Amino acid sequence: MGGKVNTELAQAAQQLTVSTKVFPLLFLALGSISTLATVWVFAAGDSGYSVGILGKLSVAGALCLLGTFALYLFQLNRTLSHSIAESREQDLRLKKLGKAVTKSGCAIAILDGRGSVEYINQQFEETTGYSMQEIIENGMQILHPKIYVNGHLVPIKRTEWLQDAWANEVQTTRKDGSVSWASVSVSVVDNHELPLASGADPEPSSSGKTQGYVVSAIDISELKNLNHEMQRLALNDELTGLANRRLFVDRLEMQLRVSRREKNSIALLFLDLDKFKRINDTLGHDAGDQLLITVAERLKRCVRANDTVARFGGDEFVVLLTDITDPLSVTHIAQLILASLKQPITLNQHEIIVSTSIGITLAPTDGLEAESLVKNADLALYRAKDQGRDCYHYFTEELNAQAIRQLVLEQELRLALNTNQFSLAFQPQFDFKQGRLISVEALLRWNHPSQGMVFPNDFVTVAEETGLIVPIGNWVLRNACKQIRQLQVVTGRNIKVAVNLSMRQFHDEQLEDNIAQALQYSGLKAKYLELEVTESMLMGDVDMVVARLTRLKSTGVSIAIDDFGSGYSSLSYLRKLPVDVLKVDRAFVRDIPEQLHDMEITAAVIAVAHKLGLKVVAEGVENIDQRDFLMINRCDYAQGFFFSRPLSYTGLNEFMQRNECRQKFELSIYPPEDIAGQSGSESWLSTLPSNTTSH
Ligand SMILES: Nc1nc2c(ncn2[C@@H]2O[C@@H]3COP(=O)(O)O[C@H]4[C@@H](O)[C@H](n5cnc6c(=O)[nH]c(N)nc65)O[C@@H]4COP(=O)(O)O[C@H]3[C@H]2O)c(=O)[nH]1
């Protein structure tokens, strides 16, 4: 705008110059014409005529002269009025500009060509807390301005920012010592931008000499704080304040670059609290949170300030140890962590002790990529857990090979499901009182194209981890119901079938629908289907478990607890659960009669289960002593190699046909009141075949 005003002023000045040059020329021309006319008249010699002409010419000249003068005055007046109007307008504009600067919401400072402050506006004073006088006297450096350079806050050099179009986010310190942030921009004022003196020519921009600087700043402290908070939330774990996975991986990548450059090692420790879920479920989430906070604090105390402790979520923590010179120091820190976390923690007035498992990997020895190192440490952690928890384990190539094998297994399992490679084996369960087969347990088999028969213990864990167990489990459910219903029709006997549920299936919201569909599709009545859940699946929030079991039972099926005794549930906990059958874990039956302790436990479990109105199945009965012990202790049902190995559908059919008459006979020799003290005696059971085509 200033430039336009200057141009207009220059034009007016030029007009005035032109007018003042034209007037004397006109005057001279007219004077010359009248003089020439007079000379010519005198030369002609006719004085009377000449005087007359001369007089007329003189009058004409005088009139012309007057006219021209009047015209000149008119022109001059117009130019002057125009200039006055323009200068008023410019004055007004300048006033407006001045007001805009003084009252601006931006903090504005005007500096002279040497960078000394000449003026700051009201907003500048309010934002910084300094008066104009203080800023003029001390300069901008009193604000301790800093900017980010390569991720670090550094003071701004004076020469750095006093240049045209400089713009940056600047951190300053207010008079009260608080820190603020401003978005600052600088404009240079050249001399050609200043109002021009009358008649002066505007100079080209390049040759303009710096007359001063205008610095304008907008306070962005709030925005910056918000940004900082968002960044904190994005990079830090909200609960513990530790780095989160993103920040950790960033730091890991940075440290990998440093370690490559400086040729030193780093270590990554992956931690998982043992049985954290149980603490969370029993003491509540607030206690769980408190525990995680305490663990975070303890971990920080175990490492140096420049090491990183992060929380990946849940109860997973990761520690990055840098600049390792002695590999033993990593073991030492792992031991320190194990010991530190094992110190008692008070939660909700309960003193608890947590242990942890740690997986360790080293770079560059085990890998050079952040992603693979995290994976390595995770694999090593799994191995530490497998080894009984509360310990650390280093990553090895064997672990890696095992992980690859699992990946292959996962792909093979998917193929197996789509190409019908699964089949079922059925292991009979006998009723001691009736002396007959009353039920079978359906057991999954995988007919691997190259490895032959594969047993569930070799693939169920991977199927569970990958979630494939859900479709595989549904396949088992449908086929078990279908084949047993078929067998019921063929043999005319309404035997039951027990199907194993996996953890994932148990929590699958579709399970009830899948059960209903399997029953409907097969025509099997719900009362002939039993679901086996393991003790470990029932751990946790008792109300939730009861609700889940109640929903399952509403489909009409019965529920058995498999491997009872291997977990941590008490018999009093059991009382609350709507279950029908207890299966005593094979581990207790195995050492009967050698282990007195196991015999006592088994007898106690049977007695209490009966008190709770539950039936008891003993698993893994392999010999006559075990059978007799169980009979004497009034166990209801038995299953094991002593009676029959798992059989194919055809094998089971044959088995049932063969034993029909014998079972009738055996019924009569088993009056419950006669069995006390009969351990080791011969009975109908010893006549059952212990060798049949097994599956
Ligand atoms: N040493 C010994 N073993 C005996 C004896 N009697 C039976 N067994 C074996 O013990 C296992 C009994 O099944 P489980 O405890 O439910 O244990 C099962 C069950 O937890 C799981 N499983 C089997 N089928 C399925 C299934 O369809 N779904 C799920 N989720 N898991 C299954 O795999 C486990 C192992 O199954 P299998 O290899 O078929 O092994 C079977 C069976 O062959 C005995 O007298 N001595």
Ligand 1 binding pocket includes 376 (Cβ within 6 Å) = no
Distance CA 35, CA 105 (A): 72
Tell me how far the alpha carbon of residue 442 lies from the centroid of ligand 1, in angstroms.
9
Neighbours of 270 (CB within 10 A): 27
Ligand 1, atom 43, residue with closest C-alpha: 646
Ligand 1, atom 6, residue with closest C-alpha: 640
Q: Residue range 168-187: average pLDDT?
A: 93
Distance CA 375, CA 434 (A): 55
Distance CA 153, CA 170 (A): 9
* pLDDT for residue 561: 94
Q: Reply yes or no on whether the pLDDT at 199 is more than 80.
A: no
Of the candidate ranges 52-61, 412-421, 480-489, 500-509, the one whose mean pLDDT is the lowest: 52-61
Q: Reply yes or no on whether the pLDDT at 344 is more than 80.
A: yes
Strands (E), 42-129: 107-112, 117-120
* pLDDT for residue 80: 86
CA dihedral 83, 89, 91, 96 (to 10 degrees): -170
Closest CA to 314 of 352, 285, 339: 285
Phi, psi angles (nearest 5°) of residue 207: -90, 5
Of the candidate ranges 34-43, 307-316, 522-531, the one whose mean pLDDT is the lowest: 34-43
Amino acid at 25: L
Q: Which residue has the tokens 């003993």?
A: 618
Q: Are 589 and 620 in contact (CB under 8 A)?
A: yes
Ligand 1 binding pocket includes 216 (Cβ within 6 Å) = no
Distance CA 59, CA 61 (A): 5
Of the candidate ranges 22-31, 513-522, 577-586, 661-670, the one whose mean pLDDT is the lowest: 661-670
Ligand 1 binding pocket includes 626 (Cβ within 6 Å) = no
- Give yes or no for a cis peptide into 204 (omega within 30° of 0): no
Closest CA to 180 of 127, 141, 130, 136: 127
Q: Reply yes or no on whether the pLDDT at 45 is more than 60.
A: no
Q: Is the pLDDT higher at 243 or at 688?
A: 243
* pLDDT for residue 79: 86
* pLDDT for residue 673: 44
Q: pLDDT, tens digit, for every residue of 538-582?
A: 887 788 899 999 999 999 999 999 988 766 667 777 888 999 999
Ligand 1 binding pocket includes 134 (Cβ within 6 Å) = no
Q: Are 551 and 529 in contact (CB under 8 A)?
A: no
Ligand 1 binding pocket includes 443 (Cβ within 6 Å) = yes
* pLDDT for residue 399: 85
Distance CA 505, CA 470 (A): 5
Ligand 1 binding pocket includes 457 (Cβ within 6 Å) = yes
Tell me how far the alpha carbon of residue 547 lies from the centroid of ligand 1, in angstroms.
27
Ligand 1 binding pocket includes 460 (Cβ within 6 Å) = yes
Closest CA to 558 of 576, 582, 579, 572: 579
Structure token pair of residue 527: 């009362």
Output the CA–CA distances (angstroms, integers) from residue 153 to 144, 172, 184, 446, 574, in the order listed.
11, 11, 16, 63, 62
Q: Reply yes or no on whether the pLDDT at 13 is more than 60.
A: no
Tell me how far the alpha carbon of residue 627 lies from the centroid of ligand 1, in angstroms.
19
* pLDDT for residue 92: 86
Ligand 1 binding pocket includes 288 (Cβ within 6 Å) = no
Tell me how far the alpha carbon of residue 568 lies from the centroid of ligand 1, in angstroms.
20
Ligand 1 binding pocket includes 502 (Cβ within 6 Å) = yes
Helix (H, G, I), strand (E, B) or coil at 386: helix
Q: What is the 3-state secondary structure (H, E, C) of 638-662?
A: ECCCCCCCCECHHHHHHHHHHHHHH
Q: Reply yes or no on whether the pLDDT at 319 is more than 90.
A: yes
CA-639 nearest atom, ligand 1: 6
Tell me how far the alpha carbon of residue 386 lies from the centroid of ligand 1, in angstroms.
20
Please state which of the four CATH numbers 1.10.1060.10, 3.30.70.2740, 3.40.50.1100, 3.20.20.450 is assigned to the domain occupying 421-687.
3.20.20.450
Ligand 1 binding pocket includes 497 (Cβ within 6 Å) = no
Of the candidate ranges 459-468, 507-516, 538-547, the one whose mean pLDDT is the lowest: 538-547
Q: Does the fold of domain 237-395 match that of domain 107-226?
A: no
Q: Residue range 338-349: average pLDDT?
A: 92
Residue 536: pLDDT band by 50, 70, 90 thresholds?
Answer: confident
Tell me how far the alpha carbon of residue 420 lies from the centroid of ligand 1, in angstroms.
21
Residue 294: pLDDT band by 50, 70, 90 thresholds?
Answer: very high
Q: Reply yes or no on whether the pLDDT at 57 is more than 80.
A: no
Probe target for ligand 1 pocket from 443, 592, 624, 691, with the most ligand atoms within 8 Å of CB: 443
Tell me how far the alpha carbon of residue 95 lies from the centroid of ligand 1, in angstroms.
94
Probe target for ligand 1 pocket from 417, 430, 440, 460, with the most ligand atoms within 8 Å of CB: 460
Please state which of the four CATH numbers 3.40.50.880, 3.30.450.20, 3.10.290.10, 3.30.450.70 is assigned to the domain occupying 107-226.
3.30.450.20
Task: Provide the mean pLDDT of the chain.
Answer: 84
DSSP state of 114: T
CATH 3.30.70.270 fits 237-395, yes or no: yes
What is the percent of the chain with per-residue pLDDT over 90, rounded to a whole number?
Answer: 55
Distance CA 191, CA 7 (A): 15
Ligand 1 binding pocket includes 474 (Cβ within 6 Å) = no
How many CA atoms lie less than 13 Å away from 643 in the CB half-sphere? Answer: 31
Q: Reply yes or no on whether the pLDDT at 284 is more than 60.
A: yes
Closest CA to 356 of 307, 423, 294, 441: 294
Q: What is the pTM of this model?
A: 0.56
Which range has the top average pLDDT, 188-202, 370-384, 583-597? 370-384
* pLDDT for residue 666: 47
Of the candidate ranges 96-100, 106-110, 190-194, 241-245, the one whose mean pLDDT is the lowest: 190-194
Distance CA 283, CA 667 (A): 51
CA-641 nearest atom, ligand 1: 45
Tell me how far the alpha carbon of residue 680 lies from the centroid of ligand 1, in angstroms.
27
* pLDDT for residue 564: 83
Q: pLDDT, tens digit, for every residue of 210-264?
A: 788 999 999 999 998 888 888 878 899 999 999 999 999 999 999 999 999 988 8
Q: pLDDT, tens digit, for every residue of 345-401?
A: 998 888 888 999 999 999 999 999 999 999 999 999 999 998 888 899 999 988 888
Q: Residue range 588-609: average pLDDT?
A: 90
* pLDDT for residue 394: 95
Using only C-alpha atoms, the chain has a radius of gyration, in whole angstroms, of 50
- Residue 645's region, left for phi above 0, alpha for psi from -120 to 50, else beta, is beta
Closest CA to 224 of 168, 299, 291, 169: 169
Q: Are 491 and 656 in contact (CB under 8 A)?
A: yes
Q: Reply yes or no on whether the pLDDT at 204 is more than 70.
A: no
Q: pLDDT, tens digit, for every residue of 635-664?
A: 999 999 999 999 999 999 999 988 644 543
CA-456 nearest atom, ligand 1: 33
CA-425 nearest atom, ligand 1: 39
Question: Hey, which residues does 558 pair with through a beta bridge?
Answer: 530
Q: Please tell me whether the interface predicted TM-score (ipTM) of this complex is above 0.85.
A: yes
Helix ranges (H only) for 387-452 are 397-418
Ligand 1, atom 21, residue with closest C-alpha: 456
Ligand 1 binding pocket includes 616 (Cβ within 6 Å) = no
Residue 672: pLDDT band by 50, 70, 90 thresholds?
Answer: very low
Sequential DSSP letters for 594-614: T-HHHHHHHHHHHHHHHHTT-
* pLDDT for residue 683: 41
Output the CA–CA distances (angstroms, integers) from residue 273 to 253, 384, 486, in the order listed.
26, 12, 48
Q: Reply yes or no on whether the pLDDT at 159 is more than 80.
A: no
Distance of alpha carbon 334 from the chain centroid: 26
Of all helices (H) and strands (E), which one includes residue 464? helix 460-466
Ligand 1, atom 2, residue with closest C-alpha: 620
Environment class of 605 (CB within 10 Å of its CB; exposed 0-12, middle 13-18, buried 19+): buried
| For the chain, domain boundaries | 2-103, 107-226, 237-395, 421-687
Tell me how far the alpha carbon of residue 566 lies from the centroid of ligand 1, in angstroms.
15
Tell me how far the alpha carbon of residue 443 lies from the centroid of ligand 1, in angstroms.
6
Q: Residue range 290-305: average pLDDT?
A: 96
Ligand 1 binding pocket includes 237 (Cβ within 6 Å) = no
Ligand 1 binding pocket includes 463 (Cβ within 6 Å) = no
Angle 511-522/542-553 helices, nearest 10 degrees? Answer: 20
Ligand 1, atom 13, residue with closest C-alpha: 443
Ligand 1, atom 33, residue with closest C-alpha: 456
Q: pLDDT, tens digit, for every residue of 107-141?
A: 999 998 888 999 999 999 999 999 999 999 998 98
* pLDDT for residue 70: 75
